[in-house]
Amino acid sequence: MRSYTVKKVDHSFDWSKIETGKINVFNWESFKGYDPEAEFQMVHDDSKIYLRMTAHNDYLKAQCTKINEFVCNDSCMEAFFNVPSKPYGYLNLEFNCFGVMFLGYGESRENRYTVDPAIVKKYITIIVDNDDVAEDQRGRWSFTAIIDKGICNELMGVDFESGECGGNFYKCGERAVSHFISWNEIQSAHPDFHRPECFGKLIFE
């Protein structure tokens, strides 16, 4: 199991000094061959969680333009994690290369719901930084999601607390070449990111 320490920072932190987690596990043989590189960084302060994800050598293809459309089919990166104060449900945050996101919450693939877009807008700010490349070329794209910790009380009924929890991070997409890559290994016969039993360890300082 991989582990990642989510450092406690102040408002003046420098991303270049933050640990990078590599999204480089190709779990399913039939989807190997497409080779984008992806990574994540994550920190938090007293009021917010900061998530930065970057993909290199990826086709920047996207059709979704509205919150909670199926961005997983676009050029997509995803973060699934729970929080130490509520370990039995997890958020799935999914982002396409335009910065459009899908947000769900629940305990499993079946037992979950899609979060109201008004809540997404209230608690999450997304900043995008992409290469300017033609549609048939591959390039780099990145986003930073600033997540207000108040979303924990809104969705889970608990305040955020530091400690250990679980999570996984993914690179996927269908519109160019189908691919499903993860940070922590997934034990599943077919592509399935909704596997909390395969989460790695996140340690919030």
Is the model more confident about 83 or about 135?
83
The SS3 call for residue 155 is helix
Condensed to tens digits (0 to 9), the pLDDT of residues 173-191 reads 998 899 999 999 999 999 9
**Structural domains of the chain, with CATH:** 3-11+31-187+195-204 (2.60.40.1190)
Pairing of strands 25-26, 179-182: antiparallel
Q: Categorize the per-residue pLDDT at 80 as very low, low, confident or very high, splitting at 50, 70 and 90.
A: very high
Q: How far apart are CA 151 and CA 147, in angstroms?
A: 8
Query: What is the C-alpha separation between 196 and 176, in angstroms, rounded?
Result: 27
Radius of gyration of the chain (CA): 16
pLDDT for position 23: 98
pLDDT at 148: 98
Q: What number is the average pLDDT over the span 16-38?
A: 95
- The pTM (predicted TM-score) of the whole model is 0.97
DSSP string, 104-119: EEESSSSSEEEPPHHH
Q: Is pLDDT above 90 for 134?
A: no
